[in-house]
Structure 1
Amino acid sequence: MTTPEAEPSESDRTQAEDARPQGARDADAHDESAPEAAPEAQSRPEERLERAVRAAEQALIEFEIAVETFRVEVENFSRLHHQKLGPMYSRLDELDAQIAEAVAARTGDLEDIRKADEARARVMPMPGVEELFHGWMDSEGLFPEAVAMLTDQPVRPPQRVRPSDEARQLYRELVRKAHPDLAQDDAERRRRDEFIARVNAAYSRGDEALLRELSEEWAAGPVPEEWKPSRSEELYARLEWLAQRKELLTLVARELEESAIGAMLKMAPEDPDQLLEEIAEQLLAQVDEREKELARLAG
């Protein structure tokens, strides 16, 4: 039958502790007294910056969505406003011009004549065919350029280019110097391929000046690689760009809100059609008043 080992006495534990190296005892004391390091303190600075950048990017995306949504709403409301109320505004301008002209004809006063001229100038004239179709047609029909585009024909026949003797000489020299077969590695071959493509394009146009510039560029040698910022510097630059982008969007949003159409839309964001109905009723009342006044002047 086995017996349990005797419990070590207090003096035995003290002696054993004294026998341990001082460094081990100091390490135990530090582990017992020091609190556990926070996860945030253990993470790299780049990780905290990356989290900040991701949060800023997400916030900017949501802000852009809100601004773009409001911009589309303003644009749609502006289109409806013009379609529904534009004729009424035009009618009001025409009636104002006729009233001013009737007053000027009755009084003959120079000031009344000036006001009549200004009122007539405010009346929007009907656009011509050229303006409506943005240069695609006139009263005679489609322009030749438009016909060519619609029938997949070249707008203008290609012109033959005959490079000068100097251009031919520059071209030959550049091809001899920059030919891709002279490359020593893949990166150099890609650089030469890109450069020769530019040389060929310039020669096909007979652009002697550009060929001369390309010759000087090749003589100067490849552009040295640009200095690359560290990851932290890239993240700081990204945060700065996000902040500038947000300021720009804030200006766009403010301009939309302060515009005439934006202000009207904010008056009834849930039911803009009803707002248009109310404005239409007001304009119809004004048209009726102007027509009565014009009839009175004419009578």
Structure 2
Amino acid sequence: MMKRCDLDGVCLEDRRVSTLSYIHSLSRQLICTITVDLRDVNIFLLTIFRISPIFFMQTFLSICTNIRTCIGQLLRRGYAWACERLYHEMAWEYDLVSHCVSLGRWDVWRRTALQAIGAYGKPADLPLLEIGFGTGDLLIAARRQGLPVIGLELSSQMHAVTSAKITKEKLDAPRVQATASTMPFGDGSFSALIATFPAPFLLEPMTLRECARVLSKRGLFVVVGLWVTPIWAGRRINLPLLYATPSQSLLAGWTDAFTSAGFSVNIQPEVAANAEVGILVAQKAVEDSRKI
């Protein structure tokens, strides 16, 4: 069979095959090039989609953290502001507020201070001193038990509320208006000090040194309500700002503060009226004393 040839003498069938091979080869190169380009684009897009969610998530979490921090600061400032008002111009509302936030258990928690004094014992012939007596309920409870007690309080409004209560009860409980950092008492004047639900000033170094000064040898310093954690159905309930169990670092800080002021310290919880109440008992250290 005769092959058909072109003017150059090249077989047309061979030229067709060669052309198809060339087109096929060119197509393969083009497809490979496109595939490589698409692969690069795919890698780029995957990188973007991988990085962007992480970046946006980190940004979102950072914003949430900042918002939470700001809200926490505002709540703490608001809580401090409210407490300041209750100790001064709204002192007449203090008992009602404390009764409400504790569901009527505030007085029971507070009286654990007197129970702690009785449990550890105190030297005779020297009075007790309540630092920051507030509306005077613990002063009245101590006097009803026949304990010699003196009250220290800076707020004039609290003095007025307490004075009305003590007059009504027909009791005698001397009271002094002064700060705990500069108490108008001689060295070793008291056998024991009591403070309940204390304000932050109590843990200041100057205040603790002054407390050690007015205590007699081996005198006790009982602080009730460093923390209160309600117990419901056998479980502790932590409520920020109001009720929460302190961290170990916070407990260590309290211990260090009292130790630096010359006390040996024992911090432990006491269960009272469906709550865990933090009680600190510090004893004025002497050279031969042992920790309680």
* TM superposition score normalised by structure 1: 0.27
The higher-RCO structure (CA 8 Å, 6+ apart) is 1
Computing the radius of gyration over CA atoms, which structure comes out larger, 1 or 2?
1
Structure with a larger share of its residues in helix: 1
Q: Which has the higher strand share?
A: 2
TM-score, structure 2 as length reference? 0.28
